[in-house]
Amino acid sequence: MGFSNKVKVIALAAGLSMAGVSQAQSPKPVNIGVMTDMSGLYSQIGGRGSVVAAQMAVDDFGGEIFGRPIKVLSADHLNKPDVAAARAREWVDRDGVVMMTDVLGSATGLAVQNLLAEKDFVIMNTGTATSAITNKNCSPYSTHWSYDTQAIAAASATATLAEQGDSWYFITADYAFGHMLQADSTKVLLKGGGKVVGTVKHPLNSGDFSSYILQAQASGAKVIVLANTGGDATNALRQAKEFGVIDAGQKVVPLLIFDSDIKALGLDAVQGVKYTTGFYWDFDDRTREWSKRFFAKHNAQASMVQAATYSATLNYLKAAKAVGSFDRDKVMAKLRETPVDDMFARNATLRDDGLLVHDMYMAQVKRPSESKSEWDIAKVIKVISGKDAFAPISESECPYLKNKS
């Protein structure tokens, strides 16, 4: 081998060696996991939008922490609890995820919540509605950051009872979320002197609501109450209109509906409907400024789940930075002692049971003539303080609180 060739070989070997050293010295990323519905009936509520929101939070934080880059991982749980739990286990045991968020859907949310409680792992839950998250299924390392069924019932059910009628027939999603939403709403109804005429349960992701609507119509109830959400709520509302239920005088009221649902149905179909939300993009300057950036990345306005995912992710990172580590006890203590006031959560504090108590909003769908743009679909008509929206901690069934005391 000639001298020049030897030099080339030595140089190549040295380059490979240096590359190996550089690679070995590259800091390991800090992984945050967004567990959500990417392809099913809740994908517009969370899905890719939640991943975008989490990445925005990481970018706004600076993209790194403790000298390590922050990476957002995502997974589609397919609305199957076993799939969600299996992926969560992989993230914890294999992939070094430090925090999970979104976890859309109550059945999947509870499966992940119970698994992570066993592992003493931090979960910033923004997509699960059931209030069991901060009650019998609570964990000292979990938070419920966006809304729960009790908050929805406190506002939506109260307004429905006062304005629509006192005899209700429930069409309820047959899983944890639907059961809890019906139970919480029924408490409001009975306390106000109303009555439940009947109820029928439907499976998740139902396409045909005709038999359920006919049963509700035949009941004679003044109000047909939908204790479901997402694609199920939009399908039920659309078919109720097609069957002439609304024109015949019965009220059809969705307890939980999202902006994407309203947009899918069209203002003609749901104009005037009042609904409870934890976020509306056009509420004030802070929501509009953040929503403009979100829209530029996602081409849609954020749901309260997506907005909450941004808030939860950013506040988690700020807490970790403040305590100088990912130590779960220190991070959770910092989150609980730090008031939250951002584009999502106003006048907010994190309770010991993991519930973020914050202002909620009663919104009303606009008439088509009122709408000035594609996403100008509603107006906030009432701000509901957190103490009025959420159940007091004295009513919490969280075992952790009892053990703590």
Are the C-beta atoms of residues 278 and 146 closer than 8 Å to each other?
yes
Q: Which residue has the tokens 């019932």?
A: 153
Q: How many domains does the chain have?
A: 2
Residuewise pLDDT in 10s, the chain (405 residues):
554 555 454 445 555 555 554 455 789 999 999 999 999 989 999 999 999 999 999 999 999 999 999 999 999 999 999 999 999 999 999 999 999 999 999 999 999 999 999 999 999 999 999 999 999 999 999 999 999 999 998 888 888 888 889 999 999 999 989 999 999 999 999 999 999 999 999 999 898 999 999 999 999 999 999 999 988 999 999 999 898 888 888 989 999 999 999 999 999 988 888 899 999 999 999 999 999 999 999 999 999 999 999 999 999 999 999 999 999 999 999 999 999 999 999 989 999 999 999 999 999 999 999 999 999 999 999 999 999 999 999 999 999 887 776
Are the C-beta atoms of residues 71 and 31 closer than 8 Å to each other?
yes
Domain boundary among 275, 304, 325: 275
| 172 and 98 belong to one structural domain | no
| 46 and 58 belong to one structural domain | yes
pTM, 2 dp:
0.90
| Residue 106, in any domain of the structure | yes
Q: How far is CA 55 from the centre of its chain?
A: 16
| Residue 362, in any domain of the structure | no
- For residues 160 and 203, give the distance between their C-alpha atoms in angstroms, rounded to a whole number: 24
Are the C-beta atoms of residues 181 and 129 closer than 8 Å to each other?
yes
| 178 and 294 belong to one structural domain | no
Q: Which helix (H) or strand (E) holds 158?
A: helix 158-163
Where does 26-145 have alpha helices with state H?
A: 47-61, 81-93, 106-118
List, for residues 118-153, the tens digit of each pLDDT value. Answer: 999 999 999 999 999 999 999 999 999 999 999 998
Backbone dihedral region for residue 79 (phi beyond 0: left; psi -120 to 50: alpha; all else: beta): left
Domain with residue 248: its CATH number is: 3.40.50.2300
| 140 and 154 belong to one structural domain | no
